[in-house]
Structure 1
Amino acid sequence: MQEFTQRLFSELQNALPGADALPKAQLQAALESVVRRMDLVSRADFDAQAAVLARTRARLEALEAQVSQLEGNIDPSDSAR
């Protein structure tokens, strides 16, 4: 998170005229506070969850295919009993 706020601070300095006059420590602390309150996840966490979702989706598709196959194997005359 500190790397993110450092990059954000650097971008602010580049984008705002006279940003060099801003108190660096206070501004960085304020940025870190704002970022901490945001509901952000790291790229690694996002990628891990995306992989879990992909595996779950593949498993669901396999189970749906299996259910369809089993439904196709049911003898309609057996359901009359």
Structure 2
Amino acid sequence: MPKPTAMLDPKALEEFSARFSALIKATPAGDLEKNVKAFLGSGLARLNLVTREEFEVQRDVLAETRRRIAALEARVGELEAKINSK
């Protein structure tokens, strides 16, 4: 005779998880979690961090600015050479 296999009902697990989460939120552990998240959030906000996308945009702007400065320096060098040769 084959052994019966235990099947876990996903819906029952979701229900258990929801009830457990609600229970934890009603305890001091839930308050502690909220307080820790708020503390970390305010601490990170004070660090003045930027997103990866913002960083990459600024990196590209800086690279373009450097390229333009190099071109202008070369042009100034040419103009100075012309003035000094006269």
TM-score for both structures, normalised by structure 2 = 0.57
Q: What 5-or-longer segments of structure 2 have no aligned partner?
A: 1-28
Residues in 1 aligned to 2:42 and 2:56: alpha-carbon distance in whole angstroms: 25
Deviation of 1:72 after TM superposition, in Å, equals 1.2
Larger Rg over CA atoms: 2
Greater relative contact order: 1 or 2 (C-alpha under 8 angstroms, separation 6 or more)? 1
Partner in structure 2 of residue 60 of structure 1: 69
Cα RMSD of the aligned pairs, angstroms, is: 1.9
**Length, aligned pairs only:** 57
Find runs of 4+ consecutive structure 1 residues off by over 4 angstroms: none
Task: Provide the identity percentage.
Answer: 42
Report the alpha carbon displacement of residue 76 of structure 1 after superposing the two structures with TM. 4.7
Q: In the alignment, what sits opposite 2:60? A: 51
Number of the residue aligned with 1:26: 35
Q: Show structure 1 runs of 5+ residues with no match.
A: 1-20
